[in-house]
Amino acid sequence: MALSLFDEETNMEAPIPEELPLLPIRDLVIFPYMVFPIFVGRPFSIKAIEEAIESHDRYIFLALQKDKDIEEPTKDDLYEIGTVATILRMMKLEDDRIKILVQGVARGKIKEFIKEDNLYKVKLEVLEEPKPPEENIEVEALIHSIKDLLDKSIALGKQVLPDLVEIIRTLEEPGKLSDLVASILDLKSPDAQKILEIVDPVERLRYVHDLFIKEVGLLEIQHKIRTAARESMEKDQREYFLRQQIKAIQEELGEKDERQEEVEQYRKKIEEAGMPEDVREEAEKQLKRLEKMHPDSAEAGVIRTYLDWLVELPWSKRTKDKLDLKRAKRILDEDHYDLEKVKERILEYLAVQKLKKEKSMKGPILCFVGPPGVGKTSLGKSIARSLGRKFVRQSLGGVRDEAEIRGHRRTYVGALPGRIIQAIKQAGTKNPVIMLDEVDKLASDFRGDPASALLEVLDPEQNREFTDHYLGVPFDLSEVMFICTANRIDTIPRPLLDRMEVIRIPGYSEEEKLYIAKNYLIPRQLKENGLSQKYVEFTDSGLRFLIRHYTREAGVRSLERQINAVLRKIAKEIALKGKKKKYRITKSLVKKFLGAPLYMPEKEKSDEIGVVTGLAWTEVGGEILKIEATRMPGKGQLILTGSLGDVMKESAMTALSYVKSKSEEYGIDPEDFQKYDTHVHVPAGAIPKDGPSAGISIATAICSLFMNLPVRADVAMTGEITLRGKVLPVGGLKEKILAAKRAEIKDVILPKDNKDEVMEDLPPFARKNINLIFVDHIDQVFKIAIKDFEKKINKKGNKES
């Protein structure tokens, strides 16, 4: 019992009535001479207390319920023998309950159970204790033994009120002693009730003595457990001592501890994960290590994190490919316009999968190369949707640390797997579509080369056993479809490029942008701005004006922003005026909403000596490149300005050398090259430029300069030149031709070796109103671009003859 107190001076002079109010108690036995507080809340119990105070000299009968959950007990629900008690003190609490302090007086037996007006009463028989023999050696021995047990239990840590200890030590009456000792024992209610029912004091003393011996024995075991646990640890590890104590107690009781449950959970997860045999062995090895470790050690935390990664990876989970080619084509066409090569490649993959009977083929590794805004990233999502696979995107732009790809070793604090394994976990399947965005912008420094770390990831022959540094066990990536994206191909390391199937996604022509805007961008932006086609209509002329004069890009990202800007202006007008009207977006309305045009046509108004219109490819599409050449008295030096790269400088030197070698043929005085310095400049000077495609443009500018003949302003050109005057092929021709078309240039000179490529990639509508001229020698370029070139050569030939 939690509290016992005996007051020798409390004498009950009033006789105990034969009929008393009944207070049923749920889980407590009050012994005679014991003082204890009781909280009362049931209405009939409160009424019994009031009745006892008013009419029964504060006497009340306490009886234990056999089942504590019964709210309204009957006679059969109560034990027959209880305790007559007197109410020493009563206090009303705020929650309508009553707290009383009672003292046991005597044992009583229920003779009759009475219930009247929500009040329980009993007629009882007070049980008188028989007097023990005056001199009994057994009784004396029991009394001495109980007092010794009391001292021993206190020494072993039992908490007893000091006043009560003194009273028990001075008592010699077996009845009172057994009741008071029973009140301090840790007994369950049925055991305490059994003591209450023993009327004979000597027999009761024997029974209490036996129970006290058992309790002291349990205290000794607990003390032994504590001592054994304390000896097995260091003095300063108090927390560890407490856990060991709990463990020892649970072992005595045959119960599992939390740590064992955690180990069992991990073991179950390992079985359900479907791991390969070697991975399973490693997981079980680490689990055994965890089982032997202290749960709060740093190493245990590292092993837990490692096991969490192992059991959560999809070792055997995969999505089933949806091999419906018509459905896949419909999804790809819904999301993207044109891009026929990419769509064709995906349909080929699905067709092969459908025809194969055995296990799934290796996932293709594609690399989409093209300018920003042409839909490379969104195309990856469409491919995943058409295949019915999960899609995960990882941006590699600016990644410098090899560990970002392969993961950190577990010896480092805060180590984690690399981005590839993280993407697999995020997808939750073994065969997702993983997009590695901006693979051309990987960098390298003292932390390693992430591009080299990708070599294993993107090799279908090696990635079957890709080993992340953190996991330390192989994971099969052969079923993953990897899609890389890049703006340019020359910055991707050659070994990495060799492992990928490169699909070039060129920029869009004006007609393509018009179609994409009408069918994709405008409907999407109307929805985002809370408008509908009922109130807004873009005219073709208005859209063309917006495309030509407010955007300059290969993709459509900037175009979408400008469309959004127009629709925001309309939304604002509708919100302010409160009424909706039909808005027809024309040139004038575009100008009103977006202000003055940002870009004007890039063409020369007149033919000039030494000024050539070249074509360049940039990461954002094709550009017009003006190349200027002039000469001044000097010593024959070549001066190059305009932030030119090494390749472009070499092209300029090659061009000058070729014109020098043909000076007599072209009617140029060879002495001019010694008397004059040649200055070649490419505006704008602040923008770095490089590449071989300006070779024929520089040669034309130098030739025009020394022949003193103007170059046609309506001709643009691109191509590389050799010392023999050969025109070699270059890349990015679609973007360059579209740039010339934007600048309203009529004739475009291109290398002859690029003819098949151009005719295949360039849609028919992009070839309208433009004359494509294919050449294989620089003399053909001079004849087309330099005015009166042939006339001057022929005139010179006639003079010589």
Asked whether residue 249 is domain-assigned, the answer is no
Q: Quick one: tokens of 40?
A: 């009362």
The closest of 603, 601, 725, 592 to 654, measured between CA atoms, is 725
387-401 tens-digit pLDDT: 889 999 998 888 888
Closest C-alpha among 88, 734, 739, 780 to residue 370 = 734
CATH number for 561: 1.10.8.60
Q: What is the pLDDT of residue 485?
A: 92
Contact 378, 384 (CB under 8 A): no
Least confident of 225-234, 555-564, 702-711: 225-234
What percent of the chain has a predicted confidence (pLDDT) above 70? 92
Q: What does DSSP say about strands 120-127 and 98-115: parallel, antiparallel, or unpaired?
A: antiparallel
Asked if the structure places residue 7 within a domain, the reply is no
Q: Which of 313, 322, 323, 350 is nearest to 429 (CA)?
A: 313
- Does residue 81 sit in the same domain as residue 163? no
**Range in 293-307, 562-576, 773-787 with the lowest mean pLDDT:** 293-307
> What is the arithmetic mean of pLDDT over 280-292?
88
Section 218-222 average pLDDT: 88
Closest CA to 132 of 180, 195, 174: 174
Q: From CA 361, how far away is CA 700, in angstroms rounded?
A: 53
Lowest mean pLDDT of 270-279, 299-308, 364-373, 439-448, name the range: 439-448
List the binding residues for ATP: 370-377
Read off the pLDDT of residues 173-206 as tens digits, 9 standing for 90 and up: 888 888 888 888 888 888 888 888 888 888 888 8
Question: 245 in a domain, yes or no?
Answer: no
Task: For residue 153, give Cα distances in angstroms to 157, 182, 185.
Answer: 6, 14, 10
Mean pLDDT of 155-165: 83
In which region does residue 401 sit, left (phi positive, over 0), alpha (psi from -120 to 50) or beta (all else)? beta
- Of 594, 620, 643, which residue sits at a domain end? 594
Query: What are the φ/ψ torsions at residue 90 (nearest 5 degrees)?
Result: -135, 140
Check which CATH number belongs to the domain holding 672 and give it: 3.30.230.10
Q: Is the pLDDT of residue 774 over 90?
A: yes
Q: What is the pLDDT of residues 367-380, one digit of tens each?
A: 988 888 888 888 88
Same domain, 500 and 365: yes
- What CATH number has the domain bearing residue 204? 1.20.58.1480
Which tens digits make up the pLDDT trace of 240-264? 677 677 777 766 766 556 677 788 8
Assess whether pLDDT exceeds 80 at residue 688.
no
Other Cβ atoms within 10 Å of 678 Cβ, number:
26
CB 349 within 8 A of CB 386: no
Q: How confident is the model at residue 775 (pLDDT cuts 50, 70, 90)?
A: very high
Tokens matching residue 284: 């079980």
Tell me the C-alpha distance between 404 and 411, whole Å.
Answer: 16
Let me know whether 533 and 637 are in one domain. no
The answer to whether 483 and 433 have CB atoms below 8 angstroms apart is yes
Question: Burial level of 35, CB count in 10 A (0-12/13-18/19+)?
Answer: buried
| Under 8 Å between Cβ of 348 and 406 | no
Whether 243 maps to a domain, the answer reads no
Q: Are residues 565 and 657 in the same domain?
A: no
Contact (CB, 8 A) for 365 and 460: yes
Given 153, 693, 697, 704, which residue is catalytic?
A: 693
- In sequence order, what are the beta bridge partners of 393? 435
Same domain as 432, residue 337: yes
**Torsion angles phi and psi, residue 135, rounded to 5:** -125, 105
Is residue 456 included in any domain, yes or no?
yes
Indicate whether 580 belongs to any domain.
yes
CA–CA separation, 192 vs 188, rounded Å?
Answer: 6
Residues 736-758, mean pLDDT to the nearest whole number = 86
Please give the pLDDT value at position 257: 60
Indicate if 575 and 617 belong to the same structural domain: no
Indicate the annotated binding residues.
Answer: 370-377
Of residues 3 and 13, more confidence is placed in 13
Query: Which of the listed residues 471, 504, 537 is the one where a domain comes to its end?
Result: 504
| Catalytic residue, candidates 194, 689, 736, 741 | 736
Quick one: pLDDT at residue 10? Answer: 43
Residue 184 lies in a domain: yes
Residue with tokens 């004059």: 676
Residues 351 and 480 in one domain: yes
Domain CATH code at residue 45 = 2.30.130.40
Q: For the chain, what percentages of helix, strand and coil (3-state, to nearest 5) are there?
A: 45, 20, 35
- Looking at the fold, whether 268 and 351 belong to one and the same domain comes out as no
The verdict on whether 693 is a catalytic residue reads yes
Pair 659, 742 in one domain: yes
Residues 340 and 404 in one domain: yes
Which residue segment(s) compose the domain that 400 sits in?
325-504
What's residue 237's pLDDT?
Answer: 64
Overall domain count for the chain: 6
Specify whether the CB–CB gap between 428 and 314 falls below 8 A. yes
More confident residue, 59 or 623: 59
Residue 294: how many CB atoms within 10 A of its CB?
15
State which of 443, 476, 504 marks the end of a domain.
Answer: 504
* pLDDT of the residue at 620: 65
Indicate whether 335 and 189 sit together in one domain.
no
d(CA 535, CA 552): 28
Residue 457's domain is classified under what CATH number? 3.40.50.300
Write down the pLDDT at residue 9.
Answer: 41
Residues 122, 144: one domain?
no
